[in-house]
Structure 1
Amino acid sequence: MSEKILLKGNEAICEAAILAGCRYYFGYPITPQSEIPEVMAKKLPTVGGVYLQAESEISAINMLYGAAAVGVRAMTSSSSPGFSLKQEGISYIAAASLPCLLVNVQRGGPGLGTIQPGQADYFQATKGGGHGDYRLLVLAPNSVQEIFDLTVEGFDLADKYRIPVLILADGALGQMMEAVSTEVKPALQVEKPWAITGRNGRKDTNVINTLSFDNDASEQTNRDLQAKYAAVKQQETRCEEFYTDDAELVLVAYGITSRIAKSAVDKARAQGYKVGLVRPITLWPFPSAELLRVAQTAKAFLVTELSTGQMIEDVELAIRCQKPVHFYGRTGGNMPTTDELYQEILKIVAEGGK
């Protein structure tokens, strides 16, 4: 059995990134993710890496663009309002097909909001927060161990598909402490002939640029990106299911909220109610096929998240509006309790799922 160590979620991201081969971090402190730049500032220099606190989030994302362009493993992190400032640069990185890791430890909003947990950045993360037709592969952990594991895997996925990958966590996961196994498999080794590292025997020097004055060439770039995203959808969609085989009411929740939802489902099951849970692990690509399958036997769905209801649309689209979709959420940094969700379950069951 591997040895485990006690880590905060934010600390686990740092440990995982370094073990995955990340040697360049560019960021700016903002609660509740400030431990990430703090730990990276201490640890990266000890492994020959570079930590650079940029003068702003905008600077940080463009520094990441430059590091990714030379083929090294690099990352940035922020929290909701800081992550908003990075959107233009993220669009450039996606357009340039550059692999890197992004981390958003969400806080309550809108605006400066609160430093407490939130999940209201779902639209921004899954629909492309910047301009243009691009996507991020969005991973949503629900434990400190999964934060660690998905951070390691995020770098591999970024290299495999040449895309930016986003770890979408929240303030609760970033600050909570749990025992973590830090064993990792060898990093995925990918040739990067596109990287800006000099000619290295090639006739021409590599150039990475997202501006085009050729309409047909620009359209082909978009087609290439969409083909890449189609491959990601086919191969990387992930979710976890609990008690869905006979469930008449199915909860849908991700991240920290999924743990509360699982407790509510367990409580309902103990009382004889046929309730289940689908937990998306990839928010994009969304597990639409899995939800559509569950919808063939379920009578209704209950979406719960720390927002006013952003994931509802994806659930409705996934099940093709065949069944009612209810919602229960908390905002402003507040989190639902197990009993709150249980009472919501009882109310929906009493109404026959309507």
Structure 2
Amino acid sequence: MTMTLMKGNEALALAAIRGGCTHFFGYPITPQNEIPEFLARELPKIGGVFIQAESEIGAVNMLYGAAAVGCRVMTSSSSPGLALMQEGISLLAAAEMPCVIVNVMRGGPGIGGIQPSQADYFQMTRGGGNGDYRVPALAPATVQESVSMMVQAFEMADCYRTPVFIVSDGMLGQMMEPVEFDNIELKEPPEKEWKLTGHGNVRKPKTIKTLMLDPARLEARNFELQEKFQKIAAAECSWEEYLIDDAVLVFTAYGSTARIARNAVDQLREEGFAAGLIRPRTLWPFPDKPFQQLASRCQTVLCVEMSCGQMVDDVRLAVNGKLPVAFYGRCGGMIPSPEELVAKAKNIMKGGRQ
């Protein structure tokens, strides 16, 4: 096994190439610029295409075009850049165009700052564009997991004909960790019978469109998409559990914040407090199951985010009133420390305010 010390963003970019990506379209924005910089240098070496678009709006529409002819395609951006792409993402979901979209989140709202944040949870799980659609969202917590999830994202995109989000952040994108690529196993891509490659006078022409002026036909199309989303929700939920069997208090956090929460769990255990952690690996579909099973043995769930509180809504829905759900968050680019989480947890377990 060969380990390589890599920055998170660059590891994502190399994993995209290893995952079969042949086309990238994007526009620079901190703190994700290492992704397009790496792909601008490396994609042409394998015969791939890199284009720096005139804007994020241009990039997402180029993504649509390349996906429509069957290429494995991706883009990456950061929070306000993703906001500009939302109309295009709605179109991609409606047209069932497989692609991967990376969001290396930064502080907001508005232009905000370039420090890490998780304030795009709603954007990544509720969809910022118009209409009834969902996009699978994978949330890595380590650089190595960023690599495996990138490959998984391309395979999921092709399997379900859907855009897939990789939800990273400025801390995970900029940190350096040892990673290895030797164990990447690629599945054979499915045959894309729907792709637009010219009919050559041997078959009827194909079209891909999302404009349906007949409301009955548009309703039927929505129901078709909802059936697919239900299949994704049933098959693709993923999470990690850490020391929850006897936990009185269970933290829940995702991405880089989950690393901090895990350190807090270890500190609390050393001091004799029974704490545990549930880490969602998929933000949509959200993993309800592990939370539904907590009521018989846990007293409180403590949701930790680098935001003012967004995933906490899904945690409360999952718990369904059977347990109190507390929240601790830092925002604007501020990062919580393990000591802060330990203090918050102790206060809750000792009967203080939640």
Task: Tell me if TM exceeds 0.5.
Answer: yes
Provide the rounded CA distance (Å) in 2 between the counterparts of 1:22 and 1:92. 21
Structure 1 pair 3/50, CA: closer, same or farther in 2 (3 Å)?
A: same
SS in 2 for 1:246: coil
Q: Which residue of 2 aligns with 1:228?
A: 228
CA distance in 2, matches of 1:353, 1:296: 22
CA shift, 1:200, in A, is: 5.6
The answer on whether the counterparts of 1:253 and 1:279 sit within 8 Å (CA) in structure 2 is yes
Shift of residue 295, structure 1, vs aligned partner: 2.9
Q: What does residue 4 of structure 2 align with? A: 5
- Equivalents in 1 of 2:160, 2:233: separation in Å? 12
The answer for the alignment partner of 2:343 in structure 1 is: 343
**Partner of 2:294: helix, strand, or coil?**
helix
Separation in structure 2 between the aligned mates of residue 137 and residue 226 of structure 1, nearest angstrom: 13
- Please identify, of 243-252 and 292-301, the stretch whose mean Cα deviation from structure 2 is larger: 292-301
Query: Matched residues in 1 for 2:204 and 2:72: separation?
Result: 24
Alignment length, in residue pairs?
353
The residue number in structure 2 matching 1:291 is 291
Q: 1:179 — aligned with what?
A: 178
SS of residue in 2 equivalent to 1:83: helix
Q: Give the match for residue 276 of structure 2.
A: 276
Q: What is the CA distance between 1:188 and its match in structure 2?
A: 3.5
Aligned to 1:107: 106
Contact residue 299 and residue 353 of structure 1 kept, 8 A: no
Q: Deviations over 1:73-101 (max 9, x none)?
A: 00000000011000000000000011000
Tell me how far 1:229 sits from its aligned partner. 0.8
- Runs in 1 of length 4+ with deviation above 2 angstroms? 200-203
1:132: Cα distance to partner? 0.6
| Partners of 1:21 and 1:187 within 8 A in 2 | no
Aligned-pair CA distance for 1:202: 5.2
* Cα 1:96–1:352 shift into 2, 3 Å: same
Query: Hey, what's the Cα distance between the residues in 2 that align with 1:201 and 1:178?
Result: 53
Distance 1:20 1:114 in 2: 31
- Distance in 1, matches of 2:17 and 2:222, equals 33
SS in 2 for 1:295: coil
Q: Which residue of 1 aligns with 2:140?
A: 141
1:39 maps to what in 2? Answer: 38
Please list, as runs of the form range in 1=range in 2, the aligned pairs for 1:81-230 lying within 5 A after superposition: 81-183=80-182, 184-199=184-199, 203-230=203-230
When residues 243 and 56 of structure 1 are mapped into structure 2, their CA distance, relative to the original with a 3 A threshold, is same
Distance 1:126 1:107 in 2: 16
The one-letter code sitting in structure 2 at the alignment partner of 1:193 is E
Task: In structure 1, give the amino acid aligned to 2:51.
Answer: L
3-state SS in 1 of match to 2:316: helix
For 2:263, give the aligned amino acid. S
Residue 293 of structure 2 aligns to a residue whose secondary structure is: helix
Partner SS state of residue 313, structure 1: helix
Q: Per the alignment, do residues 115 and 235 of structure 1 end up closer, same or farther by CA in structure 2, a change over 3 Å counting?
A: same
> How far apart are the structure 2 equivalents of 1:201 and 1:239?
49
Residues 323 and 65 (structure 1), Cα distance of their counterparts in 2 relative to 1, 3 Å cut: same
**Contact (CA 8 Å) 1:324, 1:353: kept in 2 or not?**
no
Partner AA of 1:148 in structure 2: V
Q: Quote how far apart the aligned CAs of 1:118 are.
A: 0.3
Task: Report the Cα distance in structure 2 between the residues aligned to 1:290 and 1:42, rounded to whole angstroms.
Answer: 43
CA contact (8 A) 1:249 1:353 kept: no
Counterpart-to-counterpart distance in 2, 1:298 and 1:352: 17
Of the structure 1 ranges 192-201 and 91-100, higher mean CA displacement relative to structure 2 is found in 192-201
Asked if 2 retains the 8 angstrom alpha-carbon contact of 1:107 and 1:118, the reply is yes
| TM-score after normalising by structure 1 | 0.98
Partner of 1:256: 256
Deviations along 1:294-340, one digit per CA (max 9) or x if unpaired, are 23321111000100000111000001022111111111111011111
Distance apart, 1:352 and its partner CA: 7.0
Given that residues 300 and 353 in structure 1 are in contact (C-alpha distance below 8 angstroms), is that contact kept between their aligned partners in structure 2? no
Looking at structure 2, the residues matched to 52 and 138 of structure 1 have their Cα atoms a distance apart, in angstroms, of 25
The corresponding residue for 1:75 is 74
Cα separation, 2, equivalents of 1:178 and 1:121 = 24
TM-aligned CA deviation for residue 289 of structure 1: 1.5
Q: CA deviation at 1:20?
A: 0.9
Q: CA deviation at 1:203?
A: 3.0
Give the letter for the 1:126 counterpart.
Answer: T
1:306 equivalent in structure 2: 306
Provide the rounded CA distance (Å) in 2 between the counterparts of 1:293 and 1:353.
Answer: 24
Which residue matches 2:27? 28
- TM-score, with structure 2 as normaliser: 0.98
